[in-house]
Chains A and B, each alone.
Chain A
Amino acid sequence: MWSLLKIELFKVFKRPRTYIAFIAVWAIVSLIQLAIYVDGPKYMDFVLRDVKDSFDVIGNPLNGYFVCFVILQTLLIHVPLLVALVSADMIAGEANMGTLRLLISKPVSRTKLLMSKFLASAIYAIILLIWIAILGLFLSMAIFGTDGLMNAKSYEIIILNGNDIFWRYLCAFGFAALALITVSSLGFFFSIFAENSLGPIVATMSVIIVFTILTTLDIPLFQNVKDFFFTSHMIGWKGFFEMKVDADGYAIPGTIRNLPAVLRSAGILLLHIIVFTGSAIYIFNRKDVLS
Protein backbone atom coordinates (compact mmCIF):
# COMPACT_ATOMS: atom_id res chain seq x y z
CA MET A 1 0.00 0.00 0.00
CA TRP A 2 2.82 2.38 0.96
CA SER A 3 4.58 1.65 -2.34
CA LEU A 4 1.38 2.37 -4.24
CA LEU A 5 0.91 5.61 -2.32
CA LYS A 6 4.48 6.69 -3.07
CA ILE A 7 3.93 6.01 -6.77
CA GLU A 8 0.68 8.01 -6.76
CA LEU A 9 2.30 10.88 -4.88
CA PHE A 10 5.14 10.85 -7.38
CA LYS A 11 2.60 11.05 -10.21
CA VAL A 12 0.71 13.90 -8.53
CA PHE A 13 3.78 16.03 -7.87
CA LYS A 14 5.31 15.29 -11.26
CA ARG A 15 2.45 16.99 -13.07
CA PRO A 16 2.92 20.73 -13.61
CA ARG A 17 -0.79 21.43 -12.99
CA THR A 18 -0.30 20.36 -9.37
CA TYR A 19 1.77 23.48 -8.78
CA ILE A 20 -0.84 25.82 -10.28
CA ALA A 21 -2.67 25.68 -6.95
CA PHE A 22 0.46 26.53 -4.95
CA ILE A 23 1.22 29.49 -7.22
CA ALA A 24 -2.43 30.62 -7.12
CA VAL A 25 -2.48 30.45 -3.31
CA TRP A 26 0.79 32.39 -3.09
CA ALA A 27 -0.60 35.05 -5.47
CA ILE A 28 -3.93 35.41 -3.63
CA VAL A 29 -2.32 35.49 -0.18
CA SER A 30 0.29 38.04 -1.29
CA LEU A 31 -2.38 40.26 -2.84
CA ILE A 32 -4.54 40.14 0.29
CA GLN A 33 -1.52 40.90 2.50
CA LEU A 34 -0.48 43.76 0.23
CA ALA A 35 -4.03 45.15 0.16
CA ILE A 36 -4.34 45.04 3.96
CA TYR A 37 -0.83 46.44 4.42
CA VAL A 38 -1.65 49.41 2.17
CA ASP A 39 -5.37 49.88 2.73
CA GLY A 40 -6.07 47.92 5.91
CA PRO A 41 -7.68 50.78 7.86
CA LYS A 42 -10.22 51.30 5.06
CA TYR A 43 -11.10 47.62 5.11
CA MET A 44 -11.47 47.80 8.88
CA ASP A 45 -13.67 50.88 8.50
CA PHE A 46 -15.90 48.88 6.20
CA VAL A 47 -16.12 45.96 8.63
CA LEU A 48 -16.87 48.33 11.52
CA ARG A 49 -18.98 50.76 9.50
CA ASP A 50 -21.92 50.56 11.94
CA VAL A 51 -19.80 51.15 15.02
CA LYS A 52 -16.90 53.31 13.89
CA ASP A 53 -18.81 56.51 14.64
CA SER A 54 -19.54 55.50 18.20
CA PHE A 55 -16.51 53.37 19.12
CA ASP A 56 -12.75 53.74 19.12
CA VAL A 57 -10.61 50.68 18.54
CA ILE A 58 -7.70 50.23 20.90
CA GLY A 59 -4.89 47.81 20.13
CA ASN A 60 -3.81 46.64 16.69
CA PRO A 61 -6.82 45.03 14.99
CA LEU A 62 -4.99 44.72 11.66
CA ASN A 63 -2.61 42.07 12.92
CA GLY A 64 -1.48 38.73 11.52
CA TYR A 65 -4.37 36.80 13.06
CA PHE A 66 -6.94 39.09 11.44
CA VAL A 67 -5.15 38.91 8.08
CA CYS A 68 -5.14 35.11 8.28
CA PHE A 69 -8.86 35.13 9.10
CA VAL A 70 -9.55 37.20 5.97
CA ILE A 71 -7.31 34.90 3.90
CA LEU A 72 -9.00 31.75 5.17
CA GLN A 73 -12.43 33.26 4.61
CA THR A 74 -11.51 34.06 1.02
CA LEU A 75 -9.43 31.02 0.19
CA LEU A 76 -11.46 28.26 1.72
CA ILE A 77 -14.20 28.96 -0.81
CA HIS A 78 -11.82 28.93 -3.77
CA VAL A 79 -9.18 26.40 -2.74
CA PRO A 80 -11.66 23.51 -3.17
CA LEU A 81 -11.69 24.40 -6.86
CA LEU A 82 -7.90 24.00 -6.91
CA VAL A 83 -8.11 20.72 -5.03
CA ALA A 84 -10.60 19.46 -7.62
CA LEU A 85 -7.97 20.01 -10.33
CA VAL A 86 -5.95 17.15 -8.87
CA SER A 87 -8.52 14.85 -7.26
CA ALA A 88 -10.87 14.80 -10.26
CA ASP A 89 -7.93 13.86 -12.44
CA MET A 90 -6.86 10.83 -10.40
CA ILE A 91 -8.81 8.16 -12.31
CA ALA A 92 -10.07 10.13 -15.32
CA GLY A 93 -6.51 11.23 -16.07
CA GLU A 94 -5.38 7.61 -16.27
CA ALA A 95 -8.36 6.79 -18.47
CA ASN A 96 -7.56 9.73 -20.72
CA MET A 97 -3.94 8.62 -21.14
CA GLY A 98 -5.04 5.03 -21.73
CA THR A 99 -3.10 3.71 -18.73
CA LEU A 100 -6.06 2.80 -16.50
CA ARG A 101 -6.60 -0.65 -18.01
CA LEU A 102 -2.91 -1.40 -17.75
CA LEU A 103 -2.90 -0.22 -14.17
CA ILE A 104 -5.73 -2.46 -13.02
CA SER A 105 -4.18 -5.45 -14.79
CA LYS A 106 -1.36 -5.33 -12.20
CA PRO A 107 -1.58 -7.78 -9.28
CA VAL A 108 -3.02 -5.18 -6.96
CA SER A 109 -6.67 -5.08 -5.88
CA ARG A 110 -8.76 -2.25 -7.29
CA THR A 111 -9.67 -1.21 -3.75
CA LYS A 112 -6.00 -0.80 -2.81
CA LEU A 113 -5.33 1.04 -6.03
CA LEU A 114 -8.20 3.46 -5.47
CA MET A 115 -7.35 3.94 -1.81
CA SER A 116 -3.78 4.85 -2.71
CA LYS A 117 -5.05 7.31 -5.32
CA PHE A 118 -7.53 8.83 -2.87
CA LEU A 119 -4.90 9.10 -0.13
CA ALA A 120 -2.52 10.79 -2.58
CA SER A 121 -5.16 13.39 -3.46
CA ALA A 122 -5.95 13.87 0.27
CA ILE A 123 -2.24 14.34 1.04
CA TYR A 124 -2.04 16.88 -1.77
CA ALA A 125 -4.97 18.79 -0.22
CA ILE A 126 -3.28 18.74 3.20
CA ILE A 127 0.05 19.93 1.76
CA LEU A 128 -1.81 22.76 0.01
CA LEU A 129 -3.40 23.66 3.34
CA ILE A 130 0.00 23.65 5.06
CA TRP A 131 1.18 26.03 2.31
CA ILE A 132 -1.79 28.29 3.13
CA ALA A 133 -0.90 28.10 6.84
CA ILE A 134 2.73 29.04 6.15
CA LEU A 135 1.81 32.00 3.96
CA GLY A 136 -1.52 33.02 5.50
CA LEU A 137 -0.79 32.56 9.19
CA PHE A 138 2.93 32.48 9.88
CA LEU A 139 3.99 35.00 7.23
CA SER A 140 1.12 37.32 8.22
CA MET A 141 2.16 37.04 11.89
CA ALA A 142 5.70 37.97 10.85
CA ILE A 143 4.58 40.95 8.73
CA PHE A 144 1.68 42.33 10.79
CA GLY A 145 2.53 41.09 14.29
CA THR A 146 0.00 39.57 16.67
CA ASP A 147 -2.75 40.97 18.86
CA GLY A 148 -6.38 40.19 19.59
CA LEU A 149 -8.83 39.18 16.88
CA MET A 150 -12.11 40.89 16.04
CA ASN A 151 -14.44 38.37 14.46
CA ALA A 152 -17.22 40.45 12.87
CA LYS A 153 -20.38 38.42 12.37
CA SER A 154 -23.64 39.69 10.89
CA TYR A 155 -25.16 40.60 14.26
CA GLU A 156 -22.26 40.66 16.73
CA ILE A 157 -18.55 41.28 17.10
CA ILE A 158 -16.54 38.67 18.96
CA ILE A 159 -13.26 39.88 20.44
CA LEU A 160 -10.65 37.24 21.20
CA ASN A 161 -7.57 37.78 23.38
CA GLY A 162 -4.22 37.53 21.62
CA ASN A 163 -3.14 34.53 23.73
CA ASP A 164 -6.39 32.71 22.98
CA ILE A 165 -6.12 32.53 19.20
CA PHE A 166 -3.25 30.33 18.01
CA TRP A 167 -4.77 27.07 19.26
CA ARG A 168 -8.00 28.04 17.51
CA TYR A 169 -6.11 28.36 14.24
CA LEU A 170 -4.61 24.88 14.74
CA CYS A 171 -8.13 23.49 15.21
CA ALA A 172 -9.43 25.57 12.27
CA PHE A 173 -6.73 24.25 9.93
CA GLY A 174 -7.48 20.71 11.09
CA PHE A 175 -11.13 21.27 10.28
CA ALA A 176 -10.25 22.90 6.95
CA ALA A 177 -8.21 19.77 6.08
CA LEU A 178 -11.36 17.72 6.59
CA ALA A 179 -13.31 20.14 4.36
CA LEU A 180 -10.73 19.96 1.56
CA ILE A 181 -10.56 16.16 1.75
CA THR A 182 -14.36 16.14 1.35
CA VAL A 183 -13.97 18.10 -1.88
CA SER A 184 -11.15 15.78 -2.85
CA SER A 185 -13.37 12.74 -2.33
CA LEU A 186 -16.16 14.33 -4.40
CA GLY A 187 -13.77 15.01 -7.28
CA PHE A 188 -12.40 11.50 -6.88
CA PHE A 189 -15.95 10.09 -7.04
CA PHE A 190 -16.75 11.96 -10.26
CA SER A 191 -13.39 10.90 -11.65
CA ILE A 192 -14.34 7.22 -11.95
CA PHE A 193 -17.16 8.00 -14.40
CA ALA A 194 -15.19 9.98 -16.98
CA GLU A 195 -12.72 9.23 -19.72
CA ASN A 196 -11.04 12.62 -19.40
CA SER A 197 -10.43 14.84 -16.42
CA LEU A 198 -12.24 17.94 -17.65
CA GLY A 199 -15.73 16.56 -16.95
CA PRO A 200 -15.14 15.60 -13.29
CA ILE A 201 -13.21 18.83 -12.60
CA VAL A 202 -16.06 20.96 -13.96
CA ALA A 203 -18.67 18.79 -12.22
CA THR A 204 -16.89 19.15 -8.85
CA MET A 205 -16.47 22.90 -9.30
CA SER A 206 -20.14 23.25 -10.31
CA VAL A 207 -21.37 21.40 -7.23
CA ILE A 208 -19.20 23.55 -4.95
CA ILE A 209 -20.20 26.82 -6.64
CA VAL A 210 -23.94 26.03 -6.64
CA PHE A 211 -23.95 24.78 -3.05
CA THR A 212 -21.87 27.74 -1.85
CA ILE A 213 -24.21 30.22 -3.52
CA LEU A 214 -27.23 28.49 -2.01
CA THR A 215 -25.52 28.46 1.39
CA THR A 216 -24.78 32.17 1.34
CA LEU A 217 -28.14 33.29 -0.08
CA ASP A 218 -30.20 34.54 2.83
CA ILE A 219 -33.48 33.20 1.42
CA PRO A 220 -35.74 31.17 3.75
CA LEU A 221 -36.31 28.41 1.14
CA PHE A 222 -32.58 27.65 0.97
CA GLN A 223 -32.01 28.30 4.67
CA ASN A 224 -34.19 25.29 5.47
CA VAL A 225 -32.24 22.89 3.27
CA LYS A 226 -28.74 24.27 3.55
CA ASP A 227 -27.94 21.84 6.36
CA PHE A 228 -27.95 19.15 3.66
CA PHE A 229 -25.24 20.90 1.64
CA PHE A 230 -21.75 19.87 2.68
CA THR A 231 -20.54 23.37 1.77
CA SER A 232 -22.54 24.71 4.76
CA HIS A 233 -20.41 22.55 7.03
CA MET A 234 -17.15 23.38 5.28
CA ILE A 235 -17.13 26.77 7.00
CA GLY A 236 -17.41 25.08 10.39
CA TRP A 237 -13.82 26.16 11.11
CA LYS A 238 -15.31 29.54 12.01
CA GLY A 239 -16.98 27.92 14.99
CA PHE A 240 -13.56 27.76 16.67
CA PHE A 241 -13.49 31.58 16.73
CA GLU A 242 -16.61 31.95 18.86
CA MET A 243 -16.67 31.87 22.65
CA LYS A 244 -19.14 30.88 25.31
CA VAL A 245 -20.47 33.73 27.45
CA ASP A 246 -21.08 33.74 31.18
CA ALA A 247 -24.30 34.75 32.92
CA ASP A 248 -23.33 38.43 32.70
CA GLY A 249 -22.71 38.23 28.96
CA TYR A 250 -18.90 38.34 29.11
CA ALA A 251 -17.02 36.00 26.79
CA ILE A 252 -15.03 33.21 28.44
CA PRO A 253 -11.52 32.82 26.96
CA GLY A 254 -10.44 29.31 26.03
CA THR A 255 -13.97 28.13 25.23
CA ILE A 256 -15.83 27.30 22.01
CA ARG A 257 -19.41 28.52 21.90
CA ASN A 258 -20.98 25.48 20.26
CA LEU A 259 -18.44 22.67 20.11
CA PRO A 260 -21.09 19.94 19.54
CA ALA A 261 -22.25 21.78 16.39
CA VAL A 262 -18.67 22.07 15.11
CA LEU A 263 -18.05 18.38 15.81
CA ARG A 264 -21.36 17.54 14.11
CA SER A 265 -20.23 19.46 11.02
CA ALA A 266 -16.91 17.61 11.13
CA GLY A 267 -18.82 14.34 11.42
CA ILE A 268 -21.01 15.23 8.42
CA LEU A 269 -17.91 16.02 6.35
CA LEU A 270 -16.32 12.74 7.44
CA LEU A 271 -19.50 10.94 6.43
CA HIS A 272 -19.35 12.59 3.00
CA ILE A 273 -15.74 11.45 2.62
CA ILE A 274 -16.67 7.87 3.52
CA VAL A 275 -19.75 7.88 1.23
CA PHE A 276 -17.98 9.45 -1.79
CA THR A 277 -14.84 7.34 -1.47
CA GLY A 278 -16.73 4.15 -0.55
CA SER A 279 -19.13 4.65 -3.47
CA ALA A 280 -16.21 5.30 -5.82
CA ILE A 281 -14.48 2.08 -4.73
CA TYR A 282 -17.75 0.09 -4.86
CA ILE A 283 -18.66 1.30 -8.35
CA PHE A 284 -15.11 1.02 -9.69
CA ASN A 285 -14.80 -2.57 -8.43
CA ARG A 286 -17.80 -3.46 -10.59
CA LYS A 287 -16.89 -1.30 -13.53
CA ASP A 288 -15.89 -2.68 -16.88
CA VAL A 289 -12.79 -0.65 -17.66
CA LEU A 290 -12.35 -0.26 -21.40
CA SER A 291 -9.79 2.57 -21.63
Chain B
Amino acid sequence: MTLLHKKRNQLKIVSVMLVLTSFFLLLTSFRKELTADELLKKVKAKMDKVNDYVATGKMKTDVVFIKAPIANIKSYYKKPNRFAIKRDGGVSLLPKGGVSVNVSSLLLTEDYTAIDAGKTTLGTTAVRIIKLLPLSEKSDVVLTTMYVDEANLLIRKASTTTKENGTFDMEMQFGKYAEWGLPDKVLFSFNTKDYKLPKGITLEYDDGSKKPELPKNKKGKVEITYSSYVINKGVSDAMLK
Protein backbone atom coordinates (compact mmCIF):
# COMPACT_ATOMS: atom_id res chain seq x y z
CA MET B 1 0.00 0.00 0.00
CA THR B 2 2.74 2.37 1.01
CA LEU B 3 4.60 1.73 -2.24
CA LEU B 4 1.38 2.25 -4.19
CA HIS B 5 0.74 5.53 -2.29
CA LYS B 6 4.25 6.66 -2.98
CA LYS B 7 3.87 5.94 -6.69
CA ARG B 8 0.52 7.73 -6.75
CA ASN B 9 2.03 10.73 -5.01
CA GLN B 10 4.93 10.74 -7.44
CA LEU B 11 2.52 10.59 -10.35
CA LYS B 12 0.52 13.48 -8.86
CA ILE B 13 3.67 15.57 -8.46
CA VAL B 14 4.78 14.75 -11.98
CA SER B 15 1.38 15.59 -13.42
CA VAL B 16 1.22 18.87 -11.45
CA MET B 17 4.70 19.70 -12.66
CA LEU B 18 3.68 18.88 -16.21
CA VAL B 19 0.62 21.11 -15.95
CA LEU B 20 2.71 23.91 -14.43
CA THR B 21 5.40 23.50 -17.05
CA SER B 22 2.91 23.50 -19.90
CA PHE B 23 1.16 26.54 -18.35
CA PHE B 24 4.51 28.30 -18.05
CA LEU B 25 5.38 27.39 -21.62
CA LEU B 26 1.99 28.66 -22.74
CA LEU B 27 2.55 31.94 -20.89
CA THR B 28 5.99 32.44 -22.32
CA SER B 29 4.70 31.67 -25.77
CA PHE B 30 2.11 34.50 -25.31
CA ARG B 31 4.78 36.89 -24.05
CA LYS B 32 7.06 36.16 -26.98
CA GLU B 33 8.08 39.42 -28.64
CA LEU B 34 6.55 40.16 -32.03
CA THR B 35 8.93 40.27 -34.94
CA ALA B 36 9.31 43.53 -36.84
CA ASP B 37 7.12 42.22 -39.64
CA GLU B 38 4.42 41.02 -37.26
CA LEU B 39 4.40 44.34 -35.43
CA LEU B 40 4.13 46.34 -38.66
CA LYS B 41 1.32 44.09 -39.84
CA LYS B 42 -0.56 44.77 -36.61
CA VAL B 43 0.01 48.52 -36.97
CA LYS B 44 -1.15 48.37 -40.58
CA ALA B 45 -4.22 46.34 -39.61
CA LYS B 46 -5.13 49.06 -37.11
CA MET B 47 -4.70 51.76 -39.73
CA ASP B 48 -6.68 49.78 -42.27
CA LYS B 49 -9.80 50.50 -40.23
CA VAL B 50 -9.65 53.97 -41.79
CA ASN B 51 -10.95 53.95 -45.35
CA ASP B 52 -11.03 57.72 -45.71
CA TYR B 53 -11.02 60.86 -43.63
CA VAL B 54 -11.31 64.61 -43.78
CA ALA B 55 -9.21 66.32 -41.15
CA THR B 56 -9.36 69.97 -40.14
CA GLY B 57 -6.37 71.68 -38.65
CA LYS B 58 -3.86 74.48 -38.58
CA MET B 59 -0.51 74.48 -40.33
CA LYS B 60 2.59 76.39 -39.33
CA THR B 61 5.43 76.71 -41.85
CA ASP B 62 8.85 77.42 -40.40
CA VAL B 63 11.31 77.81 -43.29
CA VAL B 64 13.89 80.61 -43.13
CA PHE B 65 13.02 82.11 -46.51
CA ILE B 66 9.24 81.65 -46.33
CA LYS B 67 7.16 84.18 -44.45
CA ALA B 68 3.70 82.70 -44.16
CA PRO B 69 0.88 83.12 -41.65
CA ILE B 70 -0.56 80.17 -39.75
CA ALA B 71 -2.96 78.55 -42.21
CA ASN B 72 -6.28 76.80 -41.74
CA ILE B 73 -6.09 73.56 -43.69
CA LYS B 74 -8.08 70.49 -44.54
CA SER B 75 -6.44 67.12 -45.21
CA TYR B 76 -8.19 64.55 -47.34
CA TYR B 77 -7.28 60.87 -47.37
CA LYS B 78 -8.69 57.94 -49.25
CA LYS B 79 -7.45 54.38 -49.30
CA PRO B 80 -5.01 53.20 -50.46
CA ASN B 81 -2.73 56.20 -51.02
CA ARG B 82 -4.66 59.28 -52.08
CA PHE B 83 -3.86 62.25 -49.90
CA ALA B 84 -4.32 65.98 -50.36
CA ILE B 85 -3.92 69.07 -48.25
CA LYS B 86 -5.95 72.16 -49.07
CA ARG B 87 -5.63 75.55 -47.52
CA ASP B 88 -8.62 77.76 -46.79
CA GLY B 89 -8.20 80.93 -48.86
CA GLY B 90 -4.57 80.85 -49.67
CA VAL B 91 -1.56 79.17 -51.21
CA SER B 92 1.18 77.28 -49.43
CA LEU B 93 4.56 75.79 -50.13
CA LEU B 94 4.93 72.29 -48.76
CA PRO B 95 8.03 70.14 -48.75
CA LYS B 96 8.03 67.53 -51.51
CA GLY B 97 7.67 64.00 -50.25
CA GLY B 98 7.18 65.32 -46.74
CA VAL B 99 3.73 66.43 -45.79
CA SER B 100 2.21 64.50 -48.68
CA VAL B 101 3.37 61.33 -46.96
CA ASN B 102 0.77 60.43 -44.38
CA VAL B 103 1.08 57.74 -41.80
CA SER B 104 -0.73 55.11 -43.83
CA SER B 105 1.40 55.61 -46.91
CA LEU B 106 4.51 54.71 -44.92
CA LEU B 107 3.23 51.17 -44.76
CA LEU B 108 1.50 51.12 -48.09
CA THR B 109 3.68 48.61 -49.88
CA GLU B 110 4.97 45.34 -48.62
CA ASP B 111 7.95 45.69 -50.90
CA TYR B 112 10.44 46.18 -48.09
CA THR B 113 12.54 44.33 -45.60
CA ALA B 114 11.84 45.18 -41.98
CA ILE B 115 14.77 44.96 -39.59
CA ASP B 116 14.41 45.09 -35.83
CA ALA B 117 16.85 47.70 -34.54
CA GLY B 118 16.16 47.56 -30.83
CA LYS B 119 14.22 49.64 -28.38
CA THR B 120 14.30 53.19 -27.08
CA THR B 121 12.03 55.76 -25.52
CA LEU B 122 10.50 58.83 -27.10
CA GLY B 123 9.69 61.12 -24.22
CA THR B 124 8.13 58.70 -21.77
CA THR B 125 6.89 56.24 -24.38
CA ALA B 126 8.76 52.99 -24.94
CA VAL B 127 9.14 52.32 -28.65
CA ARG B 128 10.55 49.69 -30.96
CA ILE B 129 12.96 50.86 -33.67
CA ILE B 130 12.26 49.24 -37.01
CA LYS B 131 14.21 49.96 -40.14
CA LEU B 132 12.54 49.50 -43.51
CA LEU B 133 14.71 48.83 -46.52
CA PRO B 134 12.90 49.05 -49.87
CA LEU B 135 13.47 46.07 -52.10
CA SER B 136 12.92 47.96 -55.34
CA GLU B 137 16.00 49.73 -56.65
CA LYS B 138 13.76 52.29 -58.33
CA SER B 139 12.32 53.45 -55.03
CA ASP B 140 13.18 57.07 -54.14
CA VAL B 141 13.23 56.04 -50.49
CA VAL B 142 16.59 54.70 -49.38
CA LEU B 143 15.74 53.96 -45.76
CA THR B 144 12.87 54.54 -43.36
CA THR B 145 13.35 54.26 -39.64
CA MET B 146 10.18 53.89 -37.63
CA TYR B 147 9.67 54.26 -33.92
CA VAL B 148 6.66 52.11 -33.11
CA ASP B 149 4.72 52.25 -29.86
CA GLU B 150 4.14 48.53 -29.48
CA ALA B 151 1.64 48.82 -26.63
CA ASN B 152 -0.72 51.09 -28.58
CA LEU B 153 0.28 49.99 -32.08
CA LEU B 154 1.13 53.57 -33.15
CA ILE B 155 3.96 54.98 -35.24
CA ARG B 156 5.33 57.76 -33.07
CA LYS B 157 8.13 58.88 -35.38
CA ALA B 158 9.44 58.11 -38.85
CA SER B 159 12.64 59.26 -40.43
CA THR B 160 12.89 58.78 -44.20
CA THR B 161 15.98 59.24 -46.32
CA THR B 162 15.32 59.73 -50.02
CA LYS B 163 17.54 59.87 -53.08
CA GLU B 164 16.16 63.15 -54.41
CA ASN B 165 14.62 65.06 -51.52
CA GLY B 166 17.05 64.50 -48.66
CA THR B 167 15.95 63.31 -45.26
CA PHE B 168 12.70 64.25 -43.63
CA ASP B 169 11.46 63.38 -40.19
CA MET B 170 7.87 63.02 -39.17
CA GLU B 171 6.93 63.09 -35.50
CA MET B 172 3.41 62.35 -34.41
CA GLN B 173 1.49 63.02 -31.23
CA PHE B 174 -1.68 61.09 -30.60
CA GLY B 175 -4.77 61.93 -28.60
CA LYS B 176 -8.46 61.63 -29.34
CA TYR B 177 -8.03 59.65 -32.55
CA ALA B 178 -5.30 57.24 -31.36
CA GLU B 179 -7.66 54.28 -31.64
CA TRP B 180 -7.77 54.91 -35.40
CA GLY B 181 -4.01 55.46 -35.57
CA LEU B 182 -4.53 59.09 -36.58
CA PRO B 183 -2.34 61.80 -35.02
CA ASP B 184 -3.47 65.04 -33.40
CA LYS B 185 -0.21 66.72 -34.29
CA VAL B 186 2.34 66.01 -37.02
CA LEU B 187 5.71 67.73 -37.17
CA PHE B 188 7.73 67.46 -40.38
CA SER B 189 11.40 68.42 -40.45
CA PHE B 190 13.25 68.54 -43.77
CA ASN B 191 16.36 69.89 -45.43
CA THR B 192 16.04 73.17 -47.31
CA LYS B 193 18.14 74.61 -50.08
CA ASP B 194 19.11 78.27 -50.40
CA TYR B 195 16.66 80.58 -52.12
CA LYS B 196 17.68 83.59 -54.20
CA LEU B 197 16.22 85.64 -57.06
CA PRO B 198 18.06 88.47 -58.87
CA LYS B 199 16.97 91.92 -57.69
CA GLY B 200 16.63 92.98 -61.33
CA ILE B 201 13.69 90.58 -61.64
CA THR B 202 12.00 91.32 -58.36
CA LEU B 203 12.45 95.13 -58.64
CA GLU B 204 12.63 95.20 -54.90
CA TYR B 205 11.44 98.05 -52.72
CA ASP B 206 14.20 98.89 -50.28
CA ASP B 207 12.53 100.15 -47.12
CA GLY B 208 15.89 100.86 -45.51
CA SER B 209 15.68 97.99 -43.06
CA LYS B 210 18.67 95.69 -42.87
CA LYS B 211 18.31 92.43 -44.73
CA PRO B 212 18.20 89.65 -42.14
CA GLU B 213 21.07 87.19 -42.06
CA LEU B 214 19.38 83.92 -42.93
CA PRO B 215 20.95 80.89 -41.28
CA LYS B 216 22.26 78.36 -43.76
CA ASN B 217 21.40 74.68 -43.74
CA LYS B 218 18.70 75.26 -41.15
CA LYS B 219 16.08 72.54 -41.21
CA GLY B 220 12.65 73.57 -42.36
CA LYS B 221 9.64 72.57 -40.30
CA VAL B 222 5.95 72.21 -41.00
CA GLU B 223 3.65 71.57 -38.05
CA ILE B 224 0.08 70.47 -38.55
CA THR B 225 -2.26 70.37 -35.58
CA TYR B 226 -5.49 68.58 -36.35
CA SER B 227 -8.55 69.61 -34.38
CA SER B 228 -10.98 67.07 -35.80
CA TYR B 229 -11.31 64.09 -38.12
CA VAL B 230 -14.37 62.90 -40.01
CA ILE B 231 -13.58 59.22 -40.52
CA ASN B 232 -15.09 56.79 -43.01
CA LYS B 233 -17.82 59.17 -44.14
CA GLY B 234 -16.64 59.21 -47.75
CA VAL B 235 -14.22 61.44 -49.65
CA SER B 236 -14.98 62.33 -53.26
CA ASP B 237 -12.40 62.49 -56.03
CA ALA B 238 -13.07 66.22 -56.38
CA MET B 239 -11.88 66.73 -52.82
CA LEU B 240 -8.61 65.01 -53.60
CA LYS B 241 -7.82 67.10 -56.68
Seen from chain A, the residues whose Cβ lies within 8 Å of a Cβ on chain B are 47-48, 50-51, 53-61, 73, 77, 147-150, 152-164, 216, 218, 226-227, 232, 235-239, 242-243, 245, 248-253, 257-258, 261-262, 264-265
CB <8 Å contact, A252 and B192: no
User: Known: A53-B96, A261-B209, A262-B207. Contact between A154 and B198, CB under 8 A?
Assistant: yes
- Closest B residue to A60 using CB positions: B91
* Residue B94 at the chain A interface, CB threshold 8 Å: yes
Q: Are A77 and B69 in contact (CB under 8 A)?
A: no
Residue of B66, B100, B190 touching A159 (CB-CB under 8 A): B66
User: In whole Å, how far is B110's beta carbon from the nearest beta carbon of chain A?
Assistant: 27
The interface residues of chain A lying within 8 Å CB-to-CB of B68 are: 158-159, 250-251
A163 to B100, CA, bound (A): 26
Which chain A positions have C-beta within 8 A of B209? 257-258, 261
Cβ-Cβ contact count across A and B, 8 Å cutoff: 160
Q: Distance in Å from the Cβ of A47 to the closest Cβ of chain B?
A: 7
**Residue of chain B at shortest CB distance from A227:** B208
Q: Across the two chains, which residue of chain B brings its CB closest to A50?
A: B195
Our pick among A157, A226, A235, A253 for the contact of B66 (Cβ within 8 Å) is A157
| Cα-based distance from A257 to B207 in the complex (angstroms) | 10
Specify the chain B residue showing the minimal Cβ separation from A253. B69
Taking the complex as formed, is B151 at the interface, i.e. its CB lies under 8 A from any CB of chain A? no
Note all chain A residues with C-beta closer than 8 A to B62.
248-250
Q: Using Cβ atoms and an 8 Å threshold, which residues of chain B touch A148?
A: 87, 89-92
- The answer on a CB contact under 8 Å between A153 and B202 is yes
Contact pick for B69, options A156, A243, A257, CB 8 Å: A243
14 cross-chain CB contacts under 8 A: A56-B93, A56-B95, A147-B89, A148-B90, A156-B66, A157-B195, A158-B67, A159-B91, A216-B200, A226-B206, A243-B69, A249-B62, A250-B62, A265-B207
Instruction: Determine whether the beta carbon of A161 is less than 8 Å from that of B89.
Output: yes
User: Is the pair A58, B86 in contact by a Cβ cutoff of 8 Å?
Assistant: yes
CB-based contact A162/B90 at 8 Å: yes
Q: Is the CB of A235 within 8 A of B93?
A: no
Find out whether the CB atom of A59 lies under 8 angstroms from the CB atom of B90. Answer: yes
- Interface pair A55/B95, CB less than 8 Å apart: yes
Contact with A along B142-167 (1 / 0, CB 8 A): 00000000000000000000001110
Closest chain B residue to A240, Cβ basis: B205
Q: B-side interface residues toward A, CB under 8 Å? A: 60-62, 65-71, 85-87, 89-96, 100, 164-166, 190-200, 202-209, 211, 214
**Chain B contacts for A55, CB-based, 8 A:** 93-96
Among the interface residues B94, B190, B207, B209, which one has the most CB atoms of the partner chain A within 10 A? B207
Cα A237 to Cα B69 with chains together (Å): 21
Are the C-beta atoms of B192 and A159 separated by less than 8 Å?
A: no
Please give, as numbers and ranges, the residues of chain A lying within 8 Å of B194 by CB-CB distance.
Answer: 50
Q: Are A155 and B196 within 8 A (Cβ)?
A: yes
Decide: B96 and A243 in contact? CB cutoff 8 A.
no
Please tell me if the beta carbons of A57 and B91 are within 8 angstroms of each other in the complex.
Answer: yes
A265 contact set on B, CB distance < 8 A:
205, 207
User: By the criterion CB–CB under 8 Å, are A250 and B60 in contact?
Assistant: yes
Across the interface, which residues of B come within 8 angstroms of A161, CB to CB? 69, 71, 89-90
Besides A54-B165, A55-B93, A249-B62, 6 other CB < 8 A contacts? Answer: A50-B193, A50-B197, A51-B93, A60-B91, A226-B206, A257-B207
**Chain B contacts for A236, CB-based, 8 A:** 205, 207
A162 x B196 contact (CB < 8 A): no
The answer for the CA separation of A147 and B91 in the assembled complex, in Å, is: 7
Known: A54-B95, A57-B92, A251-B68. A155 touches B214 (CB 8 A): yes
User: Nearest chain A CB to B103's CB is how many angstroms away?
Assistant: 19
Determine the chain B residues whose CB is within 8 A of the CB of A226 once the complex forms.
206
**Neighbour of B65 across the interface among A47, A60, A147, A156, CB < 8 A:** A156
Are the CB atoms of B67 and A251 closer together than 8 Å?
Answer: yes
Given A47-B197, A55-B96, A56-B93, A155:B65 Cβ within 8 A:
yes
**Complex-state Cα separation, A253 to B69, whole angstroms:** 6
